[in-house]
């Protein structure tokens, strides 16, 4: 019953994790605003909820920072408040540093890092007015480690931890919670949509992702962590222990990472 009538805004809701968060929240009676660039896909997700709840389709490219305040206003006009913001929109990477154009590094930072900041900064004043709120951000195991062919992706996810750990401390007196979720492998289109060094889509489903956690199972675990007001949580298979291995056995960890065969 935690989510009943709560207003939740999910970015990156047209696919994968965001899509399944929407389905799980609709089952649990939340009122939901869903955003991403592809309005047609957002409408498909809305229709799949079969009118179980009020779902507002609010298209947004999170890297178009100037359009964020207008979308926040659209959601407030419709629902009157935003109780939970889930910064989930993101894009991965499949290219070595030597082949990655600087504008691709920047695009990944704009979507994964600055996009989450732009959305969060636009929502915070209303959470302060409400006297409560919960901000969630979808990081990754790559927010704690770096592996070949994910340089900008890992950098963008690491950066989220610096920002959102700071935010959590700053807004604690204001009754605003911050949860950082670090997924391991989840079966979505993330590796298909990942950017190659020239900025084009990878168009390959990685084997580890294909064998990853069911996105519906992931979504419920993520919602349990948010309801439990966890500060940071790792959800996935055995890969989520990589940051612990790095901390406890750094020599072993770094030599294993050097041997990784990336796809």
Ligand X SMILES: NC(=O)c1ccc[n+]([C@@H]2O[C@H](COP(=O)([O-])OP(=O)(O)OC[C@H]3O[C@@H](n4cnc5c(N)ncnc54)[C@H](OP(=O)(O)O)[C@@H]3O)[C@@H](O)[C@H]2O)c1
The one catalytic residue in 3, 153, 185, 254 is 153
Q: Does 209 bind ligand X (CB under 6 A)?
A: yes
Q: Does 36 bind ligand X (CB under 6 A)?
A: yes
Among 32, 33, 89, 180, interactor with ligand X by CB under 6 A? 89
Least separation in angstroms between residue 190's CB and ligand X is 4
Active-site residue, 153 included: yes
Q: Which is nearer to ligand X, 174 or 224 (CB)?
A: 224
Interface segment toward ligand X; rule CB under 6 A; list 33-41, 97-105, 221-229, 251-259: 33-41
Q: Does 138 bind ligand X (CB under 6 A)?
A: yes
Q: Does 90 bind ligand X (CB under 6 A)?
A: yes
Q: Does 133 bind ligand X (CB under 6 A)?
A: no
Q: Which is nearer to ligand X, 53 or 202 (CB)?
A: 202
User: Which residues, 49 to 68, sit near ligand X by CB under 6 A?
Assistant: 60-63
Tokens 């069911």 sit on residue: 214
Site string for ligand X, 93-132 (x = CB under 6 A): ------------------x---------------------
3-state SS of the chain? CCCCCCEEEEECCCCHHHHHHHHHHHHCCCEEEEECCCHHHHHHHHHHCCCCCCEEECCCCCCCHHHHHHHHHHHHHHHCCCCEEEECCCCCECCCHHHCCHHHHHHHHHHHHHHHHHHHHHHHHHHHHHCCEEEEEECCHHHCCCCCCCHHHHHHHHHHHHHHHHHHHHHHHHCEEEEEEEECCECCCHHHHCECCCCCECCCCCHHHHCCECHHHHHHHHHHHHHCCCCEEEECCHHHHHHHHHHHCHHHHHHHHHCCCCC
Least separation in angstroms between residue 132's CB and ligand X is 25
Least separation in angstroms between residue 173's CB and ligand X is 29
- Using alpha carbons, select from 127, 180, 136 the residue that is nearest to residue 25: 136
Q: Which is nearer to ligand X, 66 or 131 (CB)?
A: 66
Q: Does 190 bind ligand X (CB under 6 A)?
A: yes
Other beta carbons within 10 angstroms of residue 129's beta carbon come to: 10
Least separation in angstroms between residue 240's CB and ligand X is 10
Q: How deeply is 104 buried, as exposed, middle or buried, from its count of CB atoms within 10 A (0-12, 13-18, 19+)?
A: buried
Q: Which is nearer to ligand X, 70 or 80 (CB)?
A: 70
Instruction: Give the interface with ligand X as residue ranges (CB under 6 A).
Output: 11-18, 36-38, 41, 60-63, 88-92, 111, 138, 140, 183, 185-186, 188-190, 193, 209, 212
Catalytic site positions: 153
């Amino acid at each position: 019953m935690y989510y009943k009538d709560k207003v939740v805004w999910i970015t990156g809701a047209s696919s994968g994790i965001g899509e399944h968060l929407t389905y799980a929240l609709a089952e649990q009676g939340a009122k939901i605003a869903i955003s991403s660039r592809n309005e047609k896909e957002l409408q498909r997700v809305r229709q799949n909820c079969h009118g179980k709840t009020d779902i507002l389709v609010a298209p947004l490219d999170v890297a178009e920072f100037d359009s964020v305040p207008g979308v926040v206003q659209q959601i407030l006009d419709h629902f009157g408040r935003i109780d939970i913001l889930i910064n989930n929109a993101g894009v991965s990477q499949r290219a070595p540093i030597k082949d990655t154009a600087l504008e691709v590094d920047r695009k990944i930072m704009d979507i994964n890092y600055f996009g989450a900041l732009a959305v969060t900064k636009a929502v915070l004043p209303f959470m302060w007015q409400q006297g409560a709120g919960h901000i969630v951000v979808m990081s990754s195991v790559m927010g704690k480690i770096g592996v070949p062919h994910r340089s900008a992706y890992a950098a963008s996810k690491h950066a989220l931890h610096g920002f959102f750990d700071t935010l959590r401390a700053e807004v604690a007196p204001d009754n605003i919670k911050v949860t950082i979720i670090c997924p391991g492998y989840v079966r979505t289109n993330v590796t298909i949509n990942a950017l190659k060094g020239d900025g084009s889509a990878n168009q390959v489903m990685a084997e580890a992702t294909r064998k990853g956690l069911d996105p519906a199972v992931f979504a419920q675990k993520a919602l349990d962590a948010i309801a439990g007001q966890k500060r940071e949580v790792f959800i996935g298979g055995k890969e989520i222990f990589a940051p612990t291995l790095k901390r406890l056995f750094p020599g072993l960890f770094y030599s294993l990472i050097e041997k990784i065969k990336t796809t």
